[in-house]
Each structure stands twice: as C-alpha cells, then as structure tokens.
Amino acid sequence: MSTLDAEGRHRARIVEAARSWIGTPYRHQASRKGVGCDCLGLVRAVFEEIAGRPVDPPAPYQPDWAERSGADRLVEAARRHCGEPVPFARARAGDIVLFRWREGVAAKHAGILTDPDHFIHAYEAAGVIESALVFSWRRRIAAIHRIPRPIPL
C-alpha cells in the first residue's frame, strides 16, 4: 500500500466522520452527535474519532471567550494536537480550518474542509452544516491544521 493511498483514505475518513454530524443542532459547549455541538465540540469529536486519542477538554467558556481572553487559545490548541499549520495553498480535504472574525483578535470558529471550496462546521443559526468556502470565509482564515493519523498500537 502506498503512502498516497493511506493518506487519501485517512482524509476520506475525516470527511466521512465530519459529514456524519450534519444536522446535529447547535448547542454551546456540547459535543454529542445528533444531540448538539458547537464548532469546537464538532472538531474535537472528529479529531478524537480519527486520531484515536482524546483532546484536552476545554474549561467552561462563554460565547464571547475569544474577545475576553486575549489569548489565541484555539490556535494554540491546534498546534499542540496537530503540529504547525499548513499554508492555505496546501490545504486538503480533512484539514481543520480556524477562523478569526477580524485581524488582531483570537481565532474563534473552526471547521473541517471537505474539499478546497467547502467545509463542515457547527453554526449557531443552523447547526452542523456544510458551507461553501466563499470569500467572506476565506479572508477570515487564521490557520489550517492536519489531523494526524492514528498511532499504531
């Protein structure tokens, strides 16, 4: 089996896992498929399923946590669990995409790319959906990270 084949299967598994959450209602701080999740809960659950290891549970947070803390906690956590970010030009299906609402503020939203022009995310007004990665989303990208393959036992 070639590395490319294994990489393609890994990415397909990530996208399939993320798509299985579509239709889950939005619930702040939740992470239960079909019951409710926010963007962080969705990404954490897919990461844990695919990487085969848990992610540190976040401390309780308010909807305005990014504005209040001053720290870029989402970017820091992605680095800790996924390594350094990849340039947008190298983004692939299955990558985690982080967004900041405006320059100079912490990243506050996350999703999973399904192809170069679409991503799955939990959105307050709609629950878990697949959206087009249109210009208004692209210009807010703060970082892109790869979900690592599981470590064999």
Question: In terms of Cα–Cα distance, which of 147, 79, 139, 140 is closest to 113?
Answer: 147
pTM for the complete prediction? 0.90
* CATH number given to 3-145: 3.90.1720.10
47 touches 55 (CB < 8 A): yes
**59: number of Cβ within 10 Å:** 7
| Amino acid symbol at 135 | F
Strand, coil or helix: 120: strand
* Mean of per-residue pLDDT scores for the chain: 90
pLDDT given at position 2: 61
Measure the N-to-C terminal CA separation of the chain; round to a whole number of Å: 19
107 touches 98 (CB < 8 A): yes
Read off the pLDDT of residues 38-88 as tens digits, 9 standing for 90 and up: 999 999 999 999 998 888 877 777 766 555 556 788 899 999 999 999 999
Question: In terms of Cα–Cα distance, which of 106, 138, 137 is closest to 123?
Answer: 137
For residues 55 and 81, what is the distance between their CA atoms, to the nearest angstrom?
7
pLDDT given at position 68: 56
Residue ranges per structural domain of the chain: 3-145
